């Protein structure tokens, strides 16, 4: 009675937290199954960032709660941001829930489950709901284990901090994740070294405001922020060939970080850089402390160092008070900056945020139309940029078999474009050269360049990364 299924909603941080819970549970003898129907324990790791995310999890929890009524020993838990955001009120509509676990308590899940199962075995009364939502000092240091069952993970997330001290008017994250707390650099490096020893080749450093890492806890050294110091240390870890991070904030995206794109070859030329709006008026109303001119100047500085950098962003359409004029400003900047990837969100009011009192005055149809306009620009731009790659050789980190197609494998370029190509299992975890034949807005397809493969096997992947770095113009344009 200890087969577990974890369903994860929300951002990469949640994925990472679910993985931590899985690693801890597996170490205690719990087994994992691929489908909730086969599980004795289902844990939903939830997100509160938009209403839709919460509704999805609530719907799922409701259906699972009905199963509980037929199978009294079935265990159902809700973890993460929605648990933190809504607290015990969730039990009003879901009284059968067994566990309600906050964002600082993931590491306590195994002990809660052990105790619950013990009580059930003893045929005692059904234990009452475990509610564990308190803040816990040092909880940022508990997200550090990786689930290595099923082989090495080629690409891994590493949570370097928790929380956010910004007060963006629309955002629930500071409430769900608490204040900014960074982990010590040495602990992060130990985790990255362990990952590398287990076959990981790429790490993505995670934080809600990742470039602010350690800003209050650790000093600047030689004009370098704690985040840049961390990047340098991760860069020095043997076996790690690619470094990414998400999400940085314009505040704190200074020259020391920009310079890293010129001098740290493992740092991939792909930056997810949330803009939120192209209108200064709306940025101010959102309490985003930068002007659009400042945002553009950071991108210009990045492009001065890496002209081929790939850019991704987040934009919210329909924030209260967003006029046609404001949206037009967003549309223009969005086109001008030429994002290769973007997440466009329709504004969703969140209780307890400062924007709550502004209501939700922009009609749904207007939000929908604005959303569609930006998506159309995005797909045109992504397709054009991908088409430029046809005929070029791209360095691909091979991740896994493709979902469809026999003997097809998939991986990503340094610019985070997905590539599908015929390959074999022994390539997984290697950096290989792939000649690109075809492009859609989202995917590239191609074939391995013979000969280049031996080079990357024998010569060390680091050299291959360096080679791709030194010839980006010919490789990508
Ligand atoms: N820490 C990250 C973002 C975390 S939330 C950052 O600051 O960049 C991910 C994205 O969700 C945000 O960038 C924003 O675009 C979007 N988002 C947050 N709250 C939202 C809301 N109330 N309605 C719509 N989108 C929202
Ligand atoms: Fe939310 Fe703003 Fe913090 Fe990002 S920086 S998590 S959008 S409050
Ligand atoms: Fe959602 Fe929490 Fe991430 S609210 S976006 S899961 S930090």
Regarding the beta carbon of 208 and ligand 1, being less than 6 Å apart is answered yes
Atom from ligand 1 closest to the CA of residue 343: 15
User: Measured between alpha carbons, how far is residue 350 from residues 62, 82, 135, 186, 207 in Å?
Assistant: 22, 12, 21, 37, 21
Task: Give the pLDDT band of residue 452 (cuts 50, 70, 90).
Answer: low
Cβ within 8 Å of residue 237, ≥6 positions away:
189, 192, 193, 196
**Mind listing the pLDDT tens digit for each residue in 110-141?**
999 999 998 887 766 677 899 999 999 999 99
Peptide bond into 311 cis (omega under 30): no
**CA-171 nearest atom, ligand 1:** 19
Which amino acid residue places its CA nearest to atom 5 of ligand 2? 166
Q: Report the pLDDT value the prediction gives residue 375, as an integer from 0 to 100.
A: 98
Q: What distance in Å separates the CA atoms of residue 305 and residue 253, rounded to the nearest whole number?
A: 14
Q: In whole angstroms, what is the distance from residue 418 CA to residue 427 CA?
A: 16
Please state the three-class secondary structure of 312-375 as a single string: EEEEEECCCCCCHHHHHHHHHHHHHHCCCEEEEEECCCCCCCHHHHHCCCCCHHHHHHHHHHHH
pLDDT in tens, 40-93: 999 999 999 999 999 999 999 999 999 988 898 899 999 999 999 999 999 999
pLDDT above 90 as % of the chain: 88
Per-residue model confidence as pLDDT tens digits over 317-347 = 999 999 999 999 999 999 999 999 999 999 9
How many Cβ atoms are within 10 Å of 411's Cβ, its own excluded? Answer: 28
Q: Which atom of ligand 3 is nearest to the CA of 14?
A: 6
pLDDT at 454: 43
Q: Ligand 2 in contact with 350 (CB < 6 A)? A: no
Residue 304, helix vs strand vs coil: helix
User: How many A from CA of 343 to the centre of ligand 1?
Assistant: 9
pLDDT tens by residue, 163-181: 999 999 999 999 999 999 9
At residue 120, the pLDDT reads 82
Given the CA of residue 53, which atom of ligand 3 is nearest to it? 1
Q: Give pLDDT, residue 461.
A: 32
405 band by pLDDT with thresholds 50, 70 and 90: confident
Give the domains, in start order, of the chain with CATH numbers.
3-132 (3.40.50.12160), 151-268 (3.30.750.210), 393-470 (2.40.50.140)
Mean pLDDT, residues 400-408: 92
- Summarize the confidence of residues 361-380 as an average pLDDT: 98
Q: Is pLDDT of 278 > 70?
A: yes
Ligand 2 site, residue 168, Cβ cutoff 6 A: yes
Residue 350 Cβ inside 6 Å of ligand 1? The answer reads: yes
At 353-369, the pLDDT tens digits run 999 999 999 999 999 99
Banded model confidence at residue 244, pLDDT cuts 50, 70, 90 = very high
322 CA to centre of ligand 3 in angstroms = 24
Residues 6+ apart with CB under 8 A from 90: 78, 82, 83, 97, 100
Vertex 226 angle, CA 224 and 229, to 5°: 65
Atom of ligand 2 nearest to the CA of 164: 3
Does ligand 2 lie within 6 Å of residue 164's CB atom? yes
- Identify the pLDDT of residue 178: 97
Tokens found for residue 78: 């809700």
174 lines ligand 2 (CB under 6 A): yes
Residue 416 confidence (pLDDT) above 90: yes
Locate tokens 């999400």: which residue?
247
47 pocket-lining for ligand 3 (C-beta < 6 Å)? yes
What is the Å distance from ligand 1's center to 191 Cα? Answer: 28
Ligand 2 close to Cβ of residue 172 (< 6 A): no
If you ran DSSP here, which 8-state letter would residue 105 be given? Answer: -
Q: What is the pTM of this model?
A: 0.93
Distance 175 CA to ligand 3 centre (A): 10
For residue range 51-62, list pLDDT tens digits in order: 999 999 999 999
Q: pLDDT tier at 451 (50, 70, 90 boundaries)?
A: low
Atom of ligand 1 nearest to the CA of 348: 23
For ligand 2, the distance from its centroid to the CA atom of residue 25, given in whole angstroms, is: 31
Angle at 107 between CA 32 and CA 171, to 5 degrees: 100
Mean pLDDT score, 203-214 = 97
pLDDT of residue 72: 85
Mean pLDDT estimate for the chain? 92
In ligand 1, which atom is closest to the CA atom of 49? Answer: 19
Strands 393-401, 431-439: pairing is: antiparallel
Pair of tokens at residue 315: 């934009």
Confidence of residue 462 (pLDDT cuts 50, 70, 90): very low
244 lines ligand 1 (CB under 6 A): no
pLDDT at 150: 74
**To test the ligand 3 pocket, which listed residue (9, 46, 47, 207) has its Cβ within 8 A of the most ligand atoms?**
47
User: What is the CA(184)–ligand 3 centre distance, in A?
Assistant: 23
460 pLDDT more than 70: no
């Amino acid at each position: 009675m200890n087969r577990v299924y974890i369903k994860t909603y929300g951002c990469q941080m949640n994925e990472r937290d679910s993985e931590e819970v899985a690693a801890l549970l597996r170490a205690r003898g719990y087994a994992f199954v691929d489908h909730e129907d086969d599980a004795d324990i289902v844990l939903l790791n939830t997100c509160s960032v938009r209403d839709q995310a919460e509704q999805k999890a609530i719907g799922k929890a409701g259906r699972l709660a009905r199963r509980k009524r037929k199978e009294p020993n079935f265990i159902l838990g809700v973890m993460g941001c929605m648990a933190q955001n809504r607290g015990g009120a969730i039990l009003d509509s879901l009284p059968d829930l067994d566990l309600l676990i906050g964002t600082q308590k993931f590491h306590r899940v195994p002990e809660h489950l052990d105790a619950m199962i013990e009580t059930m075995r003893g045929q005692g009364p059904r234990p009452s709901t475990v509610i564990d939502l308190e803040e816990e000092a040092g909880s940022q240091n508990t997200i550090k284990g990786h689930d290595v069952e099923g082989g090495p993970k080629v690409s891994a997330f590493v949570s370097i901090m928790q929380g956010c001290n910004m007060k963006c008017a629309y955002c629930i994250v500071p409430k769900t994740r608490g204040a900014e707390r960074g982990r010590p650099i040495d602990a992060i490096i130990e985790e990255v070294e362990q990952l590398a020893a287990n076959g990981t080749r790429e790490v993505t450093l995670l934080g809600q405001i990742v470039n602010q890492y350690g800003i209050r806890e650790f000093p600047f050294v030689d004009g370098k922020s704690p985040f840049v110091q961390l990047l340098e240390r991760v860069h020095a870890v043997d076996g790690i060939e690619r470094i990414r991070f998400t999400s940085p904030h314009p505040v704190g995206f200074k020259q020391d970080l920009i310079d890293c794109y010129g001098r740290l070859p493992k740092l991939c030329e792909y930056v997810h850089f949330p803009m939120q709006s192209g209108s200064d008026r709306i940025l101010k109303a959102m309490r985003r402390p930068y002007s659009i001119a400042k945002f553009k100047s950071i991108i210009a500085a990045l492009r001065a160092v890496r002209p081929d950098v790939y850019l991704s962003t987040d934009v919210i359409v329909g924030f209260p008070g967003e006029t046609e004029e404001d949206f037009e400003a967003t549309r223009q900047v969005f086109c001008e900056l030429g994002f290769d990837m973007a997440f466009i969100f329709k504004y969703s009011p969140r209780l307890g945020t400062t924007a709550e009192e502004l209501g939700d005055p922009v009609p749904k149809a207007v939000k929908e139309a604005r959303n569609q306009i930006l998506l159309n620009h995005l797909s045109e731009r992504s397709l054009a940029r991908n088409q430029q790659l046809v005929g070029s050789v791209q360095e691909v980190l091979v991740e896994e078999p493709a979902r469809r197609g026999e003997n097809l494998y998939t991986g990503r370029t340094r610019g985070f474009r997905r590539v599908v190509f015929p390959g074999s299992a022994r390539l997984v975890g290697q950096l290989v050269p792939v000649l690109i034949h075809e492009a859609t807005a989202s995917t590239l397809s191609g074939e391995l360049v013979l000969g280049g493969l031996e080079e990357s096997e024998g010569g060390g992947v680091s050299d291959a990364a360096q080679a791709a770095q030194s010839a980006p113009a010919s490789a990508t344009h």
